[in-house]
Structure 1
Amino acid sequence: MSCTHDHNCEDHDCSSDWSLYKHIDLSKVSALNEAVSGSVKSVFKAWDQRLQSSEHLESNEGDPELLVFVPFTSDVKIKSISIIGGPDGTSPSKMRAFTNREGIDFSDVQNMQAVQEWDLVENLEGVLEYQTRFSKFQGVGNITLHFPDSFGGDTTQIRYIGFKGEATQLKRDVVATIVYEITPNPSDHKTRNEAGGIAHIGEH
């Protein structure tokens, strides 16, 4: 894969090419049970900045559960998810994913079947990625990540969340409009016999 980004690619994978960071609708990202309102936005950053952790998302003291809602500007296909947690047992120990469900809360996720669940490990260096069941992560307009617990810490800390995959480049409403416009209208395509031999404008 060729690299067109403004950074040095020292390997052939060039992870930034797969990054969906630029397709996240950051203004609409939200989290439930975050100790500092709006801090969830700080965990989404470019791949090569993933270890810059001056800010982070943290749950309220004594309640390590977090719910993170991430909308995209276009439908995406998610291949893998990266999570960098905090030290001293504050990294999330499990992750559950729900796709294309808006406005769900903690009571909802207890009763809903996740698209996929992962047992996480404490990943402070940002070298681990959790593969998705790719066929179940097609046409994702938004994803909700549920982190039910930490590795024993009083809070859960998340310093980076990254998605890799592909984007359609088209917003959902744009896709619908294009499909509508290119659907042929039979009345616009009368045959010469149906038209009774009447010439269309521009014919001679």
Structure 2
Amino acid sequence: MACLHDHSCEDHDCSSNWSLYKHIDLPKGHLESNEGDPELLVYIPFTSDVKIKSISIVGGADGTSPSKMRAFINRDGIDFSDAQSMQAVQEWDLVENLNGVLEFQTRYAKFQSVASITLHFPDNFGGDTSQIHYIGFKGEATQLKRDVVATIVYELMPNPSDHKTKAESGGGYSQVE
């Protein structure tokens, strides 16, 4: 892992020392639903497969914090209609977490090999809008990076035109009949 400082991150725990969370202007930096509609949908892709142990959500004050959270794993392109009708991998009843001290545990066995996660927040604690200031994940990443993709072709039935013999390509062998 390459670091932008003078030591190897493998030998040190850089996650807390190099986190910029404390420098975020929380009142100004947030997701917010439309007026009168508390529902939010957040898609988060990862650069490598991850195992998620817990999720932390910091919501807004005055009833704008989400009251429920639903998670979908490795499902791209989910819209609000899909989120409302699909079975989530896990659902949580949330509590207002304005200081980020609460973590909501996952059913860890179901949160292995996560390439992306979609979080659906269908409701809040009575505010006109829903606000999310921070979404945090605890867990571990695998070493396999998403930008390394292998293309593998499988043949159920071989196509002879794809497999030229030496006789067909001008080689010294003749075809046996």
TM-score by length of 1: 0.63
Partner residue, 1:111: 85
Partner residue, 1:88: 62
AA aligned to 1:133 is R
1:141-192 deviation per Cα after TM superposition (whole angstroms, max 9, x unaligned)? 0000000011000100000001111001212463757x9xxxxxxxxxxxxx
Query: Aligned equivalents of 2:139 and 2:23: distance in 1?
Result: 17
Query: Aligned equivalents of 2:24 and 2:96: distance in 1?
Result: 14
Q: Is the 8 A contact 2:64 2:131 kept in 1?
A: yes
Secondary structure at 2:83 match in 1: helix
Residues 115 and 3 (structure 1), Cα distance of their counterparts in 2 relative to 1, 3 Å cut? same
The yes-or-no answer on 1:57 pairing with 2:66 is no
Map 1:123-202; keep pairs closer than 5 Å. Answer: 123-172=97-146, 174=148, 176=150
Greater relative contact order (CA < 8 Å, ≥ 6 in sequence) = 2
AA aligned to 2:112 is Q
Partner residue, 2:49: 75
Aligned positions, number: 143
- Stretch of structure 1 that moved more, 95-104 or 105-114: 105-114
Secondary structure at 2:54 match in 1: strand
Query: Aligned equivalents of 1:171 and 1:7: distance in 2?
Result: 22
Query: Aligned equivalents of 2:101 and 2:95: distance in 1?
Result: 11
Residues 71 and 118 (structure 1), Cα distance of their counterparts in 2 relative to 1, 3 Å cut? same
TM-score by length of 2: 0.72
The structure with the largest alpha-carbon Rg is: 2
Moved >2 Å (runs of 4+): 46-52, 171-177
Quick check: which one's strand share is greater? 2
Q: Is the 8 A contact 1:51 1:126 kept in 2?
A: no
Unaligned regions of 5+ residues in structure 1, if any?
A: 9-15, 17-45, 180-204
Query: Aligned equivalents of 2:15 and 2:72: distance in 1?
Result: 33
AA aligned to 1:150 is N
Partner residue, 2:40: 66
Secondary structure at 1:122 match in 2: coil
Residues 150 and 55 (structure 1), Cα distance of their counterparts in 2 relative to 1, 3 Å cut? same
Query: Aligned equivalents of 2:144 and 2:38: distance in 1?
Result: 36
Alpha-carbon RMSD: 2.5
Partner residue, 1:121: 95
Q: Is the 8 A contact 1:96 1:116 kept in 2?
A: yes
AA aligned to 1:123 is N
Quick check: which one's helix share is greater? 1
AA aligned to 1:49 is K
Unaligned regions of 5+ residues in structure 2, if any?
A: 1-10, 153-177
Q: Is the 8 A contact 1:91 1:156 kept in 2?
A: yes
